[in-house]
Amino acid sequence: MSFVLLGILNSQAAGAVAAAVAGYVAGGEEGSDVTTVDKFAFPDETRTTLATGLSSARRALAGFSNSSVAGYAAGGRTPLDVATVDKFAFPSDSRTTLGTGLSSARDFSAGFYNTAVAGYAAGGQAGAPVSTVDKFDFSDDTRTTLGTGLLSARWGSVGLSNPLVAGYVAGGVNSSSNNISSVEKFAFPGDTRSLLATGLSNARSEGEAFSNNAVAGYVAGGTTGSLVSTVDKFAFPSDTRTTLGTGLSAGRRNLAGFSNPSVAGYAAGGESSGGKVDTVDKFDFSDDTRTTLGTGLSANRRQMGAFQDA
């Protein structure tokens, strides 16, 4: 009997999944660019602000995560574009800056990740839109650049992650200054690229994204020329798209997204028709219902990056 019980306990331990810890919203613009990093602790969503922020004040940066290990804040504008990649180690939240940053200084890139394997910064603009996809190996933070980048140069896209399966880059603004609806998929581990048959429900840019690992990815808000509150949901692994009946609490762009997988996704800050906001909307993954946190960001701001320890 003791042998059987021990086997059960060992099996449970082997299959255990660490609880999500927190979501982070980094940098952005409040009137001037800031180094601020706000942290929302799960499950009660209390907000604190890290004692150590970004290595420089900047906006329009990309974020990606290596769960239980570190979060990354890549590129941005200070006001000149930078290639800097800051790394925040979990659980201490201490910051270092990688010796090798992005392959070019740029802003408005999209971040996605393959947990325990690599993080990616896709597209962006460096005077003009680019199609570059940089990959950072989590084992040593070395950077390579994928031989196959995006199908077309773009900025203002968002990144979705289905760890161990694929990363996605959705929407954005192309070289002709047009919003696009396309969604490209990079299959792990080979990073082969394909184009989804069904893209976003409308062509838009400067939204945000969050993911429920192995279940679905969400693209929220942005601009079509007008601000939208739309939230599109892509079910994994079929990649079929639906649009939530309830979108953001207001149309807004230049917001940031993070998630507590299996629990909820969050859409933080940005700019609405009335200007910059500190609002954080929460979407419950059990039924996709939306609530708004009583405590938002530490200030009204836009063009942040986000990552999570989850």
224 Rama sector, left if φ>0, alpha if ψ -120 to 50, beta otherwise? alpha
Task: Write the pLDDT tens digit of every residue in 121-165.
Answer: 999 999 999 999 999 999 999 999 999 999 999 999 999 999 999
Task: Write the pLDDT tens digit of every residue in 60-76.
Answer: 999 999 999 999 999 99
| Locus of tokens 């690599």 | 118
How many independent structural domains does the chain possess?
1
Cβ-based neighbours of 38, under 8 Å, separated by 6 or more: 24, 25, 26, 47, 48, 49, 50, 297, 298
Confidence of residue 8 (pLDDT cuts 50, 70, 90): very low
Spatial distance between the Cα atoms of 111 and 95, rounded to a whole number of angstroms = 19
**What is residue 19's predicted lDDT score, i.e. its pLDDT?**
82
Q: Closest by alpha carbon to 161, among 124, 204, 122? A: 122
CA 203 remoteness from chain centre: 19
CA distances from 113 to 25, 104, 119 (A): 17, 19, 4
> Does 172 reside within a domain?
yes
The CATH number of the domain where 93 resides is what? 2.120.10.80
> Does 141 reside within a domain?
yes
Q: What is the DSSP letter of 53?
A: -
% residues pLDDT > 70 (the chain):
94
- Contact criterion met (CB below 8 Å) for 203 and 222: no
> Does 12 reside within a domain?
no
> Does 9 reside within a domain?
no
> Does 256 reside within a domain?
yes
**What is residue 210's predicted lDDT score, i.e. its pLDDT?**
98
For residue 182, give its domain range.
17-309
> Does 247 reside within a domain?
yes
Spatial distance between the Cα atoms of 34 and 27, rounded to a whole number of angstroms = 5
Spatial distance between the Cα atoms of 129 and 161, rounded to a whole number of angstroms = 22
| Locus of tokens 């938002």 | 296
> Does 150 reside within a domain?
yes
pTM for the whole thing? 0.93
Confidence of residue 14 (pLDDT cuts 50, 70, 90): very low
> Does 122 reside within a domain?
yes
What is the rounded average pLDDT of the residues 8-21?
A: 49
